[in-house]
Amino acid sequence: MREDSRLSLDHAVLDHQHRELAAAADLAHKAHSNGDERMLLQQVEALHEMSAAHFAIEERLMAETDYGDAAVHAEQHREILDQIARCRAQLHAGRFACQSAKLMQFLQEWVASHTLNFDRDLAAHLRARQA
């Protein structure tokens, strides 16, 4: 697993989950590079499940701590999940369509970009609330 210290937000639970998500996204990208459709489908499914669980935890923490930007943040979670679900549906339909470089890049980069922007602010808020 590739360690990416940039992703560290100084929040143990979120940091752990972000590392797992980044590892799953890396594996999906690798499967795509190798043309391994079966492995790609497996990893995209894993990524969807892990992301949904992770987002639910963040959204619970936001609700519990009256986070002001919760609605915008949750909306981005929905968009990310929709993208992953679309990719999964295409793979299920036997279409290797989500192999487009753009979507693969999205899968690999959303963890980093969402984490560095939206989650960084949330983690600072949680640290202040010690949640």
Residues that bind Fe ion (CB under 5 A): 58, 118-119
Q: Decide whether 96 or 118 has the Cβ nearer to Fe ion.
A: 118
CB of 62 to Fe ion, least distance (A): 9
Please name the amino acid found at residue 6: R
Nearest to Fe ion by Cβ — which residue? 119
CB of 102 to Fe ion, least distance (A): 22
Q: How far apart (Å, rounded) are the C-alpha atoms in residues 48 and 55?
A: 10
Q: Decide whether 28 or 41 has the Cβ nearer to Fe ion.
A: 28
CB of 92 to Fe ion, least distance (A): 25
Q: Decide whether 67 or 91 has the Cβ nearer to Fe ion.
A: 67
CA atoms within 13 A on the CB side of 99: 17
Q: How far apart (Å, rounded) are the C-alpha atoms in residues 76 and 72?
A: 6
